[in-house]
Chain A
């Protein structure tokens, strides 16, 4: 009697976590199912307007991407943009964190205000800058630059202008992310290494180079990881400003997949492009995770 009750109770205890998880697992299955379906579509010739042509084509979509000039350009832009954006944002973010770590007037106010760009909808951020980046002197940014002797820039109309614009807008929204994480890390650093460095007579540059940066390295890798993942997949800002143009200059893989699937309704090809992007994200994040583990080990 007693043992059966205990056994029943034990079984219930073992099943309990699954019971607790079941609502979330149902929702999760509801998300994984479309993803699996999409993966399957990437091996088919799914074209929404021609349902009769639906066939399983194995790797045709993937192979045909290699011969697609736009795909090569989009891949280049995706990687190039990510590289520049991450270096720029992490570099500037580190500078801002160091600035705010020092004793400057209005530090806490600036810190609180920096949260605002961070929590704006990216598409709204893009629209705000679109207003400021009007191509004539009526645009406030061109007007401000005119004092520095810069002629009006055609921000979204020229190839280089469009790339720079997207970079500026993305940086405005995400610089605070890097800066605030690194600032938090700076404020939590142990004090002993700094005292030791002072005893050794190290100057500020040497302290930064040999004490601060090594201690910060796990956090730097972490923000690089997050920023890389997001930059590889940037969509909202590009969609709201250039839509991938002009002349496909700002078309990344996600914009290209959007165009294939929602403008030309070639769902199979669109899915194949996004799976390539996903693989890219997985590989890069795996490499960065390994780097993060190593950095975290070396400092602890």
Chain B
């Protein structure tokens, strides 16, 4: 092979790699950009052919989320979006708090003690990740109707334990196990009980891990759609179910839907940058670091 051919091949490879990287970047980012633009468009601009990149931006779509149909020319299915956002907050924070409260002692037991059925319990927890949600939703729906938990925050917080509890225990366990045993033994020699070991050694040392678990658990709750779709009503819908309300039989309110979408992803955009390094670990429940 001549040196010119080598040089040529090297250049082609470089260009191909640059093009591939550019395509990847556009593929990843463009949907966000486009939805942001759409959310700032008036109805006329949204349906213009060809699509416009230059237009007079308007905040009417966002305003419609808050004030709804009485706000003027824009129709909105109902001005409930602030409440949906609040619902998402209440349910997600409640679900994570409950899971952390129950998960810390459980993870401590799994990380530091051996007892019969320990592996079986770990397996049951892990297997929740793979059960089709409808298997839980059908009976929960029927039970909630009887118990008065249907369309309540409490009912949803309990149902969300299916998302957060196995995840929380599994993650906390792996973080607790990273605390060196020697530190724990030293504390025991100093007279610490199991409670002292937990509160004065394990918890402070795994604080970063606990924060990551809390943030990721919150994000998974925020993403949940199928449980609230069946177990919530208009008063308790989170943003995920709320955003889909802009599709009705008569029409799709594209502008408001885009605005709702942008609002719904704000926590995810901020939080995913905060826990960057741990997302893969969280999604695989610690199977991949």
Contacts and interface: CB of A to CB of B under 8 A. Distances in A.
Contact of A229 (B118, B130, B222): B130
A114 B28 contact: yes
A261 B138 contact: yes
A131 B34 contact: yes
A93 to B, nearest CB: 11
Main secondary structure of the interface of B (DSSP, over half): helix
Contacts of B162: 31
A105 B243 contact: no
Contacts of A27: 98, 102, 158, 161, 165
A240 B226 CA distance: 11
A99 B23 CA distance: 12
A128 B261 CA distance: 7
Interface string B227-246: 00110000000011101100
B132 A278 contact: yes
B258 interface: yes
Contacts of A172: 27, 31
B138 A271 contact: yes
Contacts of A232: 132
A32 B198 CA distance: 29
Contact of B103 (A24, A115, A128, A257): A24
B49 interface: yes
A117 B27 CA distance: 10
B132 A254 contact: yes
Contacts of A124: 240, 243, 261, 264-265
A261 B137 CA distance: 10
Interface in B167-196: 169, 194
A143 B128 CA distance: 43
B51 A222 contact: no
B284 interface: yes
Nearest to B50: A143
Interface stretch (B70-78, B79-87, B139-147): B139-147
Contact of A110 (B21, B135, B257): B21
A38 interface: yes
B41 to A, nearest CB: 11
B90 interface: no
Interface string A22-64: 0111111011001101100100000010000000000000000
Given A16-B194, A123-B240, A137-B50, 18 more contacts: A17-B113, A21-B109, A30-B161, A99-B24, A113-B29, A114-B28, A120-B223, A121-B225, A123-B243, A132-B31, A137-B49, A140-B51, A219-B288, A226-B284, A229-B130, A281-B131, A281-B132, A285-B130
Interface of B: 17-18, 20-21, 24-25, 27-29, 31-32, 34-35, 38, 46-51, 98, 101-103, 105-106, 108-110, 113, 115, 118, 121, 124-125, 128-136, 138-143, 158, 161-162, 165, 169, 194, 219, 222-226, 229-230, 239-241, 243-244, 252, 254, 257-258, 261, 264-265, 268-269, 271-273, 276, 279-280, 283-284, 287-289
Interface of A: 14, 16-21, 23-28, 30-31, 34-35, 37-38, 41, 48, 96, 99, 102, 104-106, 110, 112-124, 127-132, 134, 136-140, 143, 172, 176-177, 180-181, 184-185, 219, 222, 226, 229, 232-233, 235-236, 239-240, 253-254, 257-258, 261-262, 267, 270-271, 274-275, 277-278, 281-282, 285
10 contacts: A16-B194, A31-B128, A31-B161, A37-B143, A38-B138, A122-B225, A127-B243, A140-B51, A180-B280, A262-B230
